[in-house]
Structure 1
Amino acid sequence: MEDRILKPEILLVGPYPDWDLVELEKSYHVHKLYEASDADAFLRKQGDNIRAVATRGELGASAALIGKLPKLEVVSVYGVGYDAVDLAACREKGIRVTNTPDVLTNDVADLGIAMMLTQSRGMIGAERWVKDGSWAAKGLYPLRRRVWGRKAGVLGLGRIGFEVVRRLRGFDMDIAYSDVTEKSYADGMTYIADPAALAERSDFLFVTLSASAATRHIVSRDVIKALGAEGMLINISRASNIDEDALLDALETGVLGSAALDVFEEEPKLNPRFLALDNVLLQPHHASGTVETRKAMGQLVRDNLAAHFSNAPLLTPVV
């Protein structure tokens, strides 16, 4: 009982790395929603005392969850994306929201570039070619397409998009971008407002914009068709930014050449149609998945919680 009185009670929606959990439990009474066999019963019992939610970007905090936590003051998101948090409900109830931008930017950009190279040069298939004896039995691996000197499009020139561009420049690529407005820091890049026109110009189209109701399926059937049979779509943002059914149709029929994806609707139970394709590179939503970045993300979550409970300014507020 003394622990509950001295420490603020927080709800952990999904598991964090052990190094974060240990630190959280030093300062807070942590309730683990993901361990509850009956979430509703768990919240009926514990919800009245919860003052903070610690969640992950893909898990968020729904209006239904928020409604079961009458004393909720702050939602701290482990991740840069907060589209799964019901911001309207938070604003209505005066609940603050934070995320973890910047600390994961470079790792996400790194994975985007790695996926482009891996898929364009066929590195997964090439490794199998060596290991299954095809190299010795059949000779050289089938030729793939180069990366350097080709045209890249970046849909969303925010933090991550800008870091993708910095890396693309090392490949002497002709780079264009699309965003709601032209950016003053987009030196040497061509601005194209229309995503379909950007796709038509691009050999590689990177999706790096934040997800919202306004961007849902911004990569539409028309955008995918414009990218074309020689184009590659690389998504390191959110699954909702792409019309997944249209993407699958295009990959299956050859309307789109290939894709490299780190995010999916209904993940981790992705559409089984993806598994039958040999022109898509699938990654398990791990663009920020380095020890260094995950530790920095956890620290920022804790720093935001500490700031809130000490009445200090939040470090990275969303609401």
Structure 2
Amino acid sequence: MESLGVLLLHPFNAYLEQELDRRFRLYRFWETPREEFLRAHAGAVRAVVGNASYGADAALIDALPALEIVASFSVGIDRVDLAKIPQADRYVRAGLWKSRGDYTLTTRFSGKRVGIIGLGRIGQAVAKRVEAFDCPVSYHQRTEQRATYPSYTYYPSVVELAANSDVLVVACPLNAQTRHIVSREVMEALGPSGVLINVGRGPHVDEREMVAALADGRLGGAGLDVFEDEPNVPEALLGMDNVVLLPHVGSGTNETRKAMADLVLGNLEAHVLSKPLLTPVV
């Protein structure tokens, strides 16, 4: 196979780094000061591999005249918790089951109306899983896909979607149009019994408005794998019992990370062989 100069921006996965080194001519960006590296190797880099935290910004792209492809080691996945499992776990660990008796009743997930913002690959995976719990699925995105998903209900606005959902899942790409797509108005529409799940990116949600809505009881609960200013989490959220907080680990399994690495490698090899990319972004 033709030798491809690949710039890895950060050592975020040992398997990926090993395979890149084996299959291509690998440059490790963290080993040399930026300007020194660019002076010595800018013309040899034809591919960049980054992730959600270490991306190829405009300045880096402009500095790499031979750059042909940017491959991203990044993904999100759903985590929905209506049964208060973390709270129930703490109840048992504190010995309260024995001293106080049975834990308070919760609400079941089956049958809940699930609205999904962004019916892409991740949104489809969420829909497939919640359908197994007999949950009606609704969605919002730029275009309706009635022929592809005849059993799903499409809403032309996020506010309408939220007003007709018990659980609202954010799974769309982040761009200028989707920044703060979950606004105060959307949270008001979701309501005091609604649950917001964000497995996209932190800036999808107006975090300040969300914290206020949760504190005031205008929003029932939230499951958050991402935040606006990671790793900084709003202090107010830490003391709330109606939220589940995760440190951006939606894809944090060995199996998923290997699959992500294999996808990066597959895209790079397809590019070298002039074959269609496996997951192109155009």
TM > 0.5: yes
Question: How far apart are 1:63 and its partner, in Å?
Answer: 0.3
Other-structure match for 2:10? 14
Other-structure match for 2:126? 164
Other-structure match for 2:54? 59
Question: How far apart are 1:45 and its partner, in Å?
Answer: 4.4
CA contact (8 A) 1:149 1:171 kept: yes
Query: Could you tell me which amino acid in structure 2 is paired with residue 73 of structure 1?
Result: E
CA contact (8 A) 1:202 1:231 kept: yes
Other-structure match for 1:25? 21
Relative to 1, partners in 2 of residues 1:276 and 1:68: Cα closer, same or farther, differing over 3 Å?
farther
Question: How far apart are 1:41 and its partner, in Å?
Answer: 4.4
Relative to 1, partners in 2 of residues 1:188 and 1:28: Cα closer, same or farther, differing over 3 Å?
closer
Give the unaligned 5+ runs of structure 1: 1-5, 81-103
Query: Could you tell me which amino acid in structure 2 is paired with residue 171 of structure 1?
Result: F
1:201 equivalent to 2:164? Answer: yes
Question: How far apart are 1:235 and its partner, in Å?
Answer: 1.2
Question: How far apart are 1:40 and its partner, in Å?
Answer: 4.2
Fraction of identical pairs, as percent: 42
1:136 equivalent to 2:132? Answer: no
Question: How far apart are 1:7 and its partner, in Å?
Answer: 4.8
CA contact (8 A) 2:87 2:241 kept: no
Cα deviation code 1:87-128 (max 9, x no counterpart): xxxxxxxxxxxxxxxxx8xxx2xxx2xx32x3x111111111
Structure 1 stretches of 4+ moved >6 Å: none
Question: How far apart are 1:25 and its partner, in Å?
Answer: 0.8
Cα deviation code 1:13-70 (max 9, x no counterpart): 122321221111113332222455x444444444343221111134321102212223
Relative to 1, partners in 2 of residues 1:309 and 1:170: Cα closer, same or farther, differing over 3 Å?
closer
1:233 equivalent to 2:229? Answer: no
CA contact (8 A) 2:46 2:67 kept: yes
CA contact (8 A) 1:44 1:68 kept: no
CA RMSD after TM alignment: 2.2
Structure 2 counterpart SS, 1:316: coil
Structure 2 counterpart SS, 1:171: coil
1:274 equivalent to 2:270? Answer: no
- Cα distance between partner residues in 1 of 2:233 and 2:28: 26
Query: Could you tell me which amino acid in structure 1 is paired with residue 97 of structure 2?
Result: W
Structure 2 counterpart SS, 1:233: strand
Cα deviation code 1:145-195 (max 9, x no counterpart): 221222221222222222222222222223322222321222322222121
Residue among 213, 237, 257 paired with 2:176: 213
CA contact (8 A) 1:200 1:227 kept: yes
Other-structure match for 1:89? none
Q: In the TM superposition, what are the counterparts of 1:76-115 in structure 2 within 5 Å? A: 76-80=71-75, 108=77, 112=78, 115=79
Q: How many residues align?
A: 280
Other-structure match for 1:179? 141
Give the unaligned 5+ runs of structure 2: none
Other-structure match for 2:116? 154
Other-structure match for 1:190? 153
Structure 2 counterpart SS, 1:10: strand
